[in-house]
Structure 1
């Protein structure tokens, strides 16, 4: 392994980075401390020219390495290996062999082997800092990963349940499917297996899956085994099933949707209704009455007093005294300035051709970003803050960029960073498009045309020949345009200003 040492711009002096790819001063999105050693890992040959700018703030799953005490995060931008005691991390993305950046499940088996599955098909494992496919299962769609007390990996799919203890060998156990892909799996010391899916809770007995119906609904999102209790997270709260008596008990204090469970000695950590708390057979206690405004996706129990919390807005650690954000305030997406935070949820793109350079405008769920394709500099546009940007339209002859926000409507941006609001169009804007020689916008109240520097409504929803609203627009020739509505397809002739005509049935 070749190791290089480079000076990098300071992001936060308390954090250090072990990076599988080299970074420069303008690279996104990794915070680096001055003089921090970087391990220069080999890239997968398939992605040798790739450079990744995907955010790893959006956590889908967590896994804890019991041997080394490290935490592994599955995110919308790849995999993050977090070393809590050393305050450093290593990030992996598609250039390191991952099956795309969108990773949903992650687990660490008893030997320390890390496994992941993503939005695409296949199960992958990490070897020599390259992610490699577990080819024995082929291109199977994995819905859940977990481990048992012996360290075996359990893989849940729609075509079967598999137990694996070596990435180079066949599964040591294969069970038939339980009808639908599992949402969660729990295994006790005797290979007593429980799972939940779209049809409810199932228990593997006598070489078959037996549905558990007594007092249990089909709205089970997740489950966990702890002692003689089976804990069920549902859309409406937490349920405990006493396995000795097969009796269900609803935990009354846990009202809301349960999205994650993590068993500990006393009971189970629960993410419910935006809060995290500890549930026992006799009580429920939330952490400091803190309510998260972002989805809680995963929990890992450190002890009866501490828990790791994975959310769509980063990693947290909860304890009896406090809940604190881990990594940095924007982990780990920033070099230098917080303005460089880049959302992984890209919803709109537009290239603006200027006299001396080209600008790529990027609309995301967390604001508008500007990328200079010549200097390769990034910048967030402060006018739009963290707005949910849905569409971008560039009008070259007027040096105006029109940006549609879900909450703030339509705004025109001039080169001097001047903002011009289209106050006559109510938000949200559904479509911005150029058609033939005209520019069009679709709002909830009708179709707008850009004329003489003004947006004019040319069709209201009341004039549509169907009872519905506009959803899309396309114009190829000057005298014909197509309107997609919630109740069918319409033909519109802009020059005649006739009412649209319904096409088809």
Structure 2
């Protein structure tokens, strides 16, 4: 095998972007993860366009300079880009998760339900035929064509197309469209009639077709979701899978050609395959420095360089030299922001699910993970801050005490910690640390002695703890994974659950205490509960403007304004006024909120699932310590 090298392009694992909602101040800024590249690359001269889950990235292949376009700095209606294509007139066409976009001469043209027959639907693939007509695959509303003036739709409601779940399109030399569907096999459309090839009437082993390619001799190649690759010469079928060939994985993302007549196959977990029938050469993380074994797209530039996109970035394969390109990079590389906390000097502590502890201070990012520090795991779940600057960190492999000079690890082997998976933390006025665990109950640690509470030795209602809050009277309020809420008054536990109170659900996500002493309790499907020590009030999606009943995060500022994170966006509650923030209408990178905290300057920091971090402040965000 030749010594082939890859040039990694780090596409800003968190891409910083701003959105201006007032005339003089920026109220939103987001740091979005784009570690996963979507399923498409396109070349426009010396410009490489990359479809990502956090916007459209433009890379100058000569200089390595990159620019990211998203809905905050362009007319793109969404940051989730599914596919890109350059037409014969050099226009760029962009498929998003909500519509189709054309970009030409710095002008953005959006085609959606307001100005075209296209529905609010994912545009998953684009191709141009020999007449310059654009063919548009949607994942849920069929096939469309656009001739520059008019759209034509082909759906199960108005044609004989057997499926509206279209995944891929290829066009043969006779103008026939070969269409891969999710669930109905491979289709051939000659402009009038539809022909179906599926697992019942052909050699296709899986009716979920992920990719279609037609080679120069007219042979049809199709990639499938679980049955590898099939070849059709118009008469017979031949299958290539991990049972009868060197193909390393049966889940295929693409089949593409190079300039030498080889085919390249991207797999889900088996790496990249060079296929020169019948030989296969495999490039994976075990035998090369390819960035990922999940390869999602491929193209060859005019110099013969091969470009791939993957779940962990873009790489350029060059047999002669190494060259590294970097786009704007905050240094953060995590998809899920599980917890947020503000410490001394307004430092922001960020819990990631894959890259350890992240600290943001003075507009500088620091990462502490298992490779560069003594933190025992890259999965960080929670924080608690002490007045002296010590930060307590909960991981799935123990408890960590951290300051700028040392790391101290507590686990079951060297302490009385009841379980290594630490899920919640709080520090009371006396400096006691309260440590909630996933399956060991809750512990109190005063710096020397440990006290454990669980259902076997006390009236504590659960072994699983999700959240801890401490009120001004020193009472400890604990949210559990299945036993409701427990209150500890330094002598006994009082339990509130669906059987003995008006609590709406026994699975608790978060608890926060307001400046006037009310307990705000987020539940797993039961909405938001408010308890004033006597009465309960429940807010849900039926009786309020709450966007979702799964309450994942709560933050309350000094003015008693509540910020409620849900699986469907964020709610701001100011007395009786509700304001709802959704990804489509705000700077939120995702509607799935995982964490919220408020810093010393009143900025609200919002962690999301798979879309990174955002900061928001009415009147304008204030960054810097």
Is the structural similarity TM-score above 0.5?
yes
SS at match of 2:181: strand
Alignment of 1:95 with 2:72, yes or no, is yes
1:123/1:440 Cα in 2 relative to 1: closer, same or farther (>3 Å)? farther
Counterparts of 1:131 and 1:450, CA distance in 2 = 58
Identify if the C-alpha distance between structure 1 residues 91 and 493 changes in structure 2 by more than 3 Å, giving closer, same or farther.
closer
Counterpart in the other structure of 2:179: 194
Select 2:373's aligned residue among 365, 383, 391: 383
- CA deviation digits over 1:118-165, x for unaligned, max 9? 45x333333554655323346612151221343524232302211234
For the pair 1:141 / 2:121, whether they are aligned, the reply is yes
Query: Number of paired residues?
Result: 446
**Further displaced range: 97-106 or 76-85:** 97-106
Hey, what does 1:453 align to over in structure 2? 447
| Cα displacement (A) at 1:254 | 0.3
1:10: which partner in 2? none
Please state if 1:483 is matched with 2:473.
Answer: no
- Are 1:285 and 2:267 matched, yes or no? no
Provide the C-alpha distance between the structure 2 equivalents of 1:460 and 1:362, rounded to a whole number of angstroms: 29
Offset from partner CA, 1:192-214 (integer Å, 9 cap, x none): 231131x2523145555735114
C-alpha distance in 2 between matches for 1:250 and 1:158: 29
- Work out the CA distance in 2 between the residues paired with 1:179 and 1:455: 65
Choose the corresponding residue for 1:255, options 231, 248, 253: 248
Secondary structure (helix, strand or coil) at the match of 1:274 reads coil
Counterpart CA distance in 1 for 2:312 and 2:442 is 36
- Listed one character per residue, the Cα deviations across residues 337-383 of structure 1 (whole Å, up to 9, x for unaligned) are xxx512252413434243xx3111222333422222xx433333453
Structure 2 residue matching 1:101: 3-state secondary structure:
coil
Task: Tell me, yes or no, if the aligned pair for 2:390 and 2:402 is still in contact at 8 Å.
Answer: yes
Question: C-alpha distance in 1, partners of 2:448/2:180?
Answer: 58
1:363 aligns with 2:351: yes
Structure-1 residue corresponding to 2:142: 160
State the secondary structure of the residue aligned to 1:345.
Answer: coil
In structure 2, the residue matched to 1:301 is: 299
The 1-side partners of 2:167 and 2:212 are apart by 11
| CA RMSD between the two structures | 4.4
Q: In structure 2, do the counterparts of structure 1 residues 108 and 426 end up closer, same or farther at CA, with 3 Å as the change threshold?
A: farther
Residues 1:409 and 2:406 aligned together: no
Mapped to 2, the partners of 1:112 and 1:284 lie a distance apart of: 34
TM norm structure 2: 0.60
Equivalent-residue separation in structure 1 for 2:150 and 2:129 (angstroms): 20
Q: What SS is found at the alignment partner of 1:85?
A: coil
Deviation of the 1:310 alpha carbon: 0.9
With over 3 angstroms needed to count, the CA separation of the structure-2 counterparts of 1:391 and 1:47, relative to structure 1, is farther
* CA distance, structure 2, for counterparts of residue 87 and residue 296 of structure 1: 23
More off after superposition, 396-405 vs 426-435: 426-435
Q: Does the C-alpha gap of structure 1 residues 183 and 461 become closer, same or farther in structure 2, counting only changes over 3 Å? A: farther
Structure 1: runs of 5+ lacking an equivalent: 1-13, 16-27, 31-42, 335-339
2:213 aligned counterpart, secondary structure: strand
Cα distance in 1 between the residues matched to 2:207 and 2:455 = 38
Q: SS where residue 151 of structure 2 aligns? A: coil
**Contact 2:283/2:290 (<8 A) preserved:** no
* Larger deviation, residues 345-354 vs 286-295: 286-295
Give, in whole Å, the separation in 2 of the partners of 1:154 and 1:180: 12
- Asked if the contact 2:67–2:327 (Cα under 8 Å) also holds between the matched residues in 1, the reply is no
Q: What CA deviation, in whole Å up to 9, does each residue of 1:222-274 have, x standing for no partner?
A: 22222343333345563222241242322410022434323216352112343
Worse-superposed segment, 122-131 or 381-390:
381-390
Alignment partner of 1:106 out of 57, 79, 84: 84
Aligned equivalent of 2:599: none
Instruction: Choose the corresponding residue for 1:275, options 246, 258, 271.
Output: 271
Q: For 2:37, which of 50, 59, 73 is the aligned residue?
A: 59
1:210 maps to what in 2?
196
For residue 423 of structure 2, the aligned residue among 401, 426, 431 is 431
How far 1:311 moved relative to its partner? 1.8
CA contact (8 A) 1:366 1:386 kept: no
How far apart, in 2, do the equivalents of 1:308 and 1:47 lie? 41
Contact (CA 8 Å) 1:275, 1:287: kept in 2 or not? yes
Distance in 2 between residues matched to 1:499 and 1:255, nearest whole Å: 57
Partner in structure 2 of residue 332 of structure 1: 327
Say which is worse superposed, 429-438 or 447-456, in terms of deviation: 429-438
Q: 1-side partners of 2:359 and 2:81: how far apart? A: 26
- Is the CA contact (8 Å cut-off) linking 2:291 and 2:313 kept in structure 1? no
User: Which moved further from structure 2: 445-454 or 493-502?
Assistant: 493-502
| Aligned-partner Cα distance in 2 for 1:310–1:386 | 32
- Give the structure 2 partner of residue 421 of structure 1: 409
Say whether the 8 Å CA contact 2:138–2:165 is kept in structure 1.
yes
Q: Distance in 1 between the 2:477 and 2:209 partners?
A: 49
CA gap 1:363/1:473 in 2 versus in 1, 3 angstroms: closer
Q: Retained in 1: the 8 A contact 2:411–2:420?
A: no
Cα deviation, 1:10-42, whole Å, max 9, x if unaligned, reads: xxxx99xxxxxxxxxxxx869xxxxxxxxxxxx
Query: What is the CA–CA distance in structure 2 between the aligned matches of 1:326 and 1:229, rounded to whole Å?
Result: 37
Pick from 209, 213, 219 the counterpart of residue 225 of structure 1.
213
- Kept in 2, the 8 Å contact 1:271–1:296? The answer is yes
Residue matched to 1:25: none
Output the CA distance in 2 between the equivalents of 1:219 and 1:271.
19
Q: Give, in angstroms, the shift of residue 452 of structure 1.
A: 0.6
SS in 1 for 2:176: coil
